[in-house]
């Protein structure tokens, strides 16, 4: 009698050194041949005690640390922290500074989504989108270089304003970039979004139903990809967003099911276009005036607490500060969108192929600096 061949499930360690785990995420895969039965993400390889540091440095000094949370969207983190501190201290921010912050945040959103486009393409096996995405991101980075002198960790928004005014040359460079972006956007879709192989790799893969997405507390493009039109910029408007005209993009299941990898990817692509629109409006309607309010050297706040949430490229970024009346926060809690979004990986990456796990992880688009903090 022929004995049936014994097969076994094996555990494979994906990461922390792996080409497509976005830095130092470690996933343990339980695999049965090419089938992945379960995925457990292990985090903490990039833990830098950000929240503890916040208790040891002053409100003003913590700003550069926020650059390094989601290092692909520094301007958005700066904006969140500045708003949280300003709410505690009730500093009046000049109108022009508010608009400039939003301009920086939206440019940064484009840059972040471009990078996501590139790496997602790379994870699907296409190299060229990566270079295309980086080409345009490079322009944004150069614009930031002109704007605030830094290329990755901007530290542009400051408590009570921004560090430097927008020069006419920079404004011109931004306009040139926005016009170019309109053309490139079409090119990106020709290269990747509508590619048959790419669609087959991503459509109907890693579907997150809307109720599951809400139950897991997902935010940002991952939530909107599931068809939930929730955007802090619209749901709880802050800064100058109420004055701007833009759409909340949601996944519609154009190529497959609502909430699949392609939808999440497509929401990011649509958001690039919306951000371009927002940037144009800001450049057109930028109010005149000072760009920095008078802020005392040593910022003393009353014993109080504040929670400010903003829409970062990866979702809802929240800063919860409890102050005890000194110049340092008593406790700071950062609600990182990537961290919450990553929690769904174990739930949706089940009984799929190894290649699908990569696509799901890529479509969630985590930044480990933010997950581990």
Partner 1 sequence: MPGTLTDIINYVIQTALGVVGLDYARVPEMLRIGAAMLIACGAMLGYVAVVALFFGWAERRVAGRIQARQGPNIVGPFGLLQLIADAIKILVKEDIIPQTAHRFLFRLAPILVFMGAFAPFVVLPFSETLVVSNLSLGVYYALSFAALEVVGVIMAGWASNNKWSLYGGMRLAAQMMSYEIPMGLAVLTVAVLSGHLNLRTIVLDQQGYWIFSWNVFRGFPWAFLAMFVFYLAGLAGSKRTPFDLPEAESEIVAGYHTEYSGMRFVIFYLSEYATMYVVSALTAVLFLGGWHGPIPHVLAWDGQVHWEAGPVLSALIGMVNMIGKSFFLMFVMLWFRWTYPRVRVDQIVYLCMKVLVPLGIICLMGASAWALVW
* Contact set with partner 1 (CB under 8 A): 10, 12, 18-20, 33-34, 121-128, 131-132, 135, 191-192, 195, 197-198, 200-201, 353-356, 358
Nearest to partner 1 of 138, 182 (CB atom): 138
Nearest to partner 1 of 332, 357 (CB atom): 357
42's tokens: 């292990």
**Smallest distance from partner 1 to CB 271, Å:** 22
The answer to whether 251 and 224 are in contact (CB under 8 A) is: yes
* Residue 307 parent element (H or E): strand 304-312
* DSSP 8-state code for residue 227: T
Nearest to partner 1 of 78, 119 (CB atom): 119
Q: How far apart are CA 297 and CA 317, in angstroms?
A: 27
Nearest to partner 1 of 248, 355 (CB atom): 355
Nearest to partner 1 of 33, 296 (CB atom): 33
**Smallest distance from partner 1 to CB 56, Å:** 39
**Smallest distance from partner 1 to CB 298, Å:** 49
Separation in Å, CA 100 to CA 133, 144, 147: 24, 12, 10
Nearest to partner 1 of 141, 354 (CB atom): 354
11's tokens: 């555990």
370's tokens: 């933010």
The answer to whether 78 and 71 are in contact (CB under 8 A) is: no
Nearest to partner 1 of 212, 354 (CB atom): 354
**Smallest distance from partner 1 to CB 244, Å:** 32
Separation in Å, CA 287 to CA 79, 99, 172: 18, 8, 17
Q: How far apart are CA 39 and CA 346, in angstroms?
A: 5
**Smallest distance from partner 1 to CB 7, Å:** 12
Say how many Å lie between the first and final Cα of the chain, rounded. 58
Q: How far apart are CA 25 and CA 14, in angstroms?
A: 8
**Smallest distance from partner 1 to CB 197, Å:** 5
**Smallest distance from partner 1 to CB 176, Å:** 17
């Amino acid at each position: 009698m022929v004995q049936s061949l014994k097969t076994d499930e094996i555990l494979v360690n994906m990461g922390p050194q792996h080409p497509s785990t976005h830095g130092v995420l470690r996933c343990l895969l339980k695999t049965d041949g090419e089938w992945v039965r379960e995925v457990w993400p292990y985090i903490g390889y990039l833990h830098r005690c950000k929240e503890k540091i916040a208790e040891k440095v002053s409100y003003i000094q913590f700003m550069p640390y926020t650059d390094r949370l989601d290092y692909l969207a520094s301007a958005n983190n700066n904006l969140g922290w500045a708003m949280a501190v300003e709410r505690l201290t009730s500093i009046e921010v000049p109108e022009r500074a508010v608009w400039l912050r939003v301009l920086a945040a939206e440019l940064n959103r484009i840059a972040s989504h471009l990078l996501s486009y590139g790496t997602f393409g790379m994870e699907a096996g296409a190299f060229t989108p990566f270079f295309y995405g980086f080409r345009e991101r490079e322009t944004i980075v150069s614009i930031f270089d002109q704007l605030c002198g830094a290329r990755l960790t901007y530290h542009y928004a400051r408590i009570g304003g921004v560090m430097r005014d927008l020069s006419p040359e920079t404004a011109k460079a931004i306009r040139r970039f926005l016009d170019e972006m309109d053309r490139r956007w079409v090119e990106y879709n020709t290269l990747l979004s509508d590619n048959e192989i790419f669609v087959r790799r991503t459509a109907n893969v890693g579907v997150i139903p809307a109720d599951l997405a809400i139950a897991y507390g997902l935010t940002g493009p991952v939530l909107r990809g599931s068809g939930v039109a929730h955007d802090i910029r619209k749901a709880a408007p802050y800064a100058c967003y109420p004055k701007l005209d833009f759409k909340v993009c949601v996944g519609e299941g154009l190529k497959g099911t609502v909430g699949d990898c392609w939808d999440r990817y497509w929401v990011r692509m649509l958001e690039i276009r919306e951000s371009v629109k927002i940037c144009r409006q800001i450049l057109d309607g930028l109010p005149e005036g000072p760009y920095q309010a008078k802020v005392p050297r040593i910022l003393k706040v009353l014993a109080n607490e504040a929670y400010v949430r903003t829409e970062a490229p990866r979702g809802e970024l929240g800063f919860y500060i409890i102050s005890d009346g000194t110049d340092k926060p008593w406790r700071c809690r950062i609600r990182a969108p990537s961290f919450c979004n990553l929690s769904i990986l174990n739930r949706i990456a089940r009984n799929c192929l190894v290649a699908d796990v990569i696509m799901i992880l890529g479509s969630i688009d985590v930044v480990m600096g933010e997950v581990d903090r």
